Structure 1
Amino acid sequence: MTDNSIDDIIDLPEDEFGEEQDNQLYEHYRFVADKGQGLIRIDKYLSMHIVGVSRNRIQQAAEAGCILVNDTPVKSNYKIKPLDVVSVVMNRPPRELEIIPENIPLDVVYEDEDLMVINKPPGLVVHPGFGNYQGTMVNAIAYLLKDTPEYDAKDPRLGIVHRIDKDTSGLIVVAKNAYAKAHLSAQFFNKTTKRQYVALVWGAVEADEGRIEGNIGRDLKDRMLMTVFKDGEHGKTAVTHYKVLERLGYVSLIQCKLETGRTHQIRVHMKYIGHTLFNDARYGGDEVLRGTNFTKYKQFVQNCFNICPRQALHAQTLGFIQPRTGEELMFEAPIPGDMIQLLEKWRGYIANREV
Structure 2
Amino acid sequence: MNNKKATPAKPKQPLIREYTVTEQSDLLPFLLDNVTGMGRNSVKSALSRGQIAVNGKIATTHNHPLKPGDKVSVSKERIPERPPLAGVTLLYEDKDILVITKESGLLSIASDKETQLTAYRQLMDHVRAADPASRIFVVHRLDRDTSGVMMFAKSEAVQQKLQEQWKELVKERTYIALVEGQLKKNEGTVSSWLKETKTLKMYSSPYPNDGQHAITHYKVLQSNRSYSLLEVELETGRKNQIRVHMQDLGHPVVGDKKYGARGRGIGRLGLHARVLAFIHPVSGKEMRFETPIPKLFSNVFRTV
TM-score normalised according to structure 1 size? 0.59
CA distance in 2, matches of 1:235, 1:223: 16
2:178/2:297 contact within 8 Å kept: no
Question: Which whole-Å deviations, capped at 9, do the CAs of 1:135-164 have from their partners, x for residues lacking one?
Answer: 111110111111336533xxxxx5120011
Question: Which whole-Å deviations, capped at 9, do the CAs of 1:34-92 have from their partners, x for residues lacking one?
Answer: xxxxxxxxxxxxxxxxxxxxxxxxxxxxxxxxxxxxxxxxxxxxxxxxxxxxxxxxxxx
- Point out where structure 1 has 5 or more consecutive residues left out of the alignment: 1-100, 153-157, 289-301
Q: Which residue of 2 aligns with 1:316?
A: 274
Of residues 234-243 and 190-199 in structure 1, the stretch that sits farther from structure 2 once superposed is 190-199
Residue 125, structure 1, aligned to residue 103, structure 2: no
CA distance in 1, matches of 2:131, 2:224: 47
**Structure 1 residue 325: Cα displacement:** 1.2
CA distance in 2, matches of 1:249, 1:167: 25
Q: Which residue of 1 aligns with 2:242?
A: 266
Q: Which residue of 2 aligns with 1:245?
A: 221
Say which of 203, 214, 217 aligns to 2:195.
217
CA distance in 1, matches of 2:107, 2:83: 13
Structure 2 letter corresponding to 1:111 = E
1:150/1:177 contact within 8 Å kept: no
- Aligned residue for 1:334, secondary structure, equals coil
Structure 2 letter corresponding to 1:242 = Y
CA distance in 2, matches of 1:229, 1:283: 15
CA distance in 2, matches of 1:210, 1:191: 25
- Aligned residue for 2:288, secondary structure, equals strand
2:181/2:226 contact within 8 Å kept: yes
2:223/2:301 contact within 8 Å kept: no
CA distance in 1, matches of 2:156, 2:171: 19
Q: How many residues align?
A: 221
Structure 1 letter corresponding to 2:243 = R
**Structure 1 residue 119: Cα displacement:** 0.3
Residue 204, structure 1, aligned to residue 218, structure 2: no
CA distance in 2, matches of 1:172, 1:211: 24
CA distance in 1, matches of 2:171, 2:114: 29
Q: Which residue of 1 aligns with 2:283?
A: 325
Q: Which residue of 2 aligns with 1:148?
A: 131
Question: Which whole-Å deviations, capped at 9, do the CAs of 1:101-145 have from their partners, x for residues lacking one?
Answer: 975432001111110100001100111122322311111011111
Q: Write out aligned runs for 1:168-187 (5 A).
A: 168-187=146-165
CA distance in 2, matches of 1:230, 1:188: 28
1:102/1:135 contact within 8 Å kept: no
Q: Which residue of 2 aligns with 1:280?
A: 256
- Aligned residue for 2:212, secondary structure, equals coil
CA distance in 1, matches of 2:105, 2:165: 27
**Structure 1 residue 284: Cα displacement:** 2.3
Q: Write out aligned runs for 1:1-355 (5 A).
A: 103-105=84-86, 106-146=88-128, 147-148=130-131, 151-152=134-135, 158-188=136-166, 192-219=170-197, 223-285=199-261, 287-288=262-263, 302=264, 305=265, 308-336=266-294, 340-344=295-299, 346-348=300-302, 351=303
Q: Which residue of 2 aligns with 1:98?
A: none
- Point out where structure 2 has 5 or more consecutive residues left out of the alignment: 1-81
Q: Alpha carbons of 1:266 and 1:281: their partners in 2 closer, same or farther (altered >3 Å)?
A: same
Structure 2 letter corresponding to 1:184 = L
Q: Which residue of 2 aligns with 1:37?
A: none
2:169/2:279 contact within 8 Å kept: no
CA distance in 2, matches of 1:233, 1:317: 30
- Aligned residue for 2:255, secondary structure, equals coil
Structure 1 letter corresponding to 2:282 = R
TM-score normalised according to structure 2 size? 0.68
Bigger strand fraction: 2
Return the index of the structure with the highest Cα Rg.
2
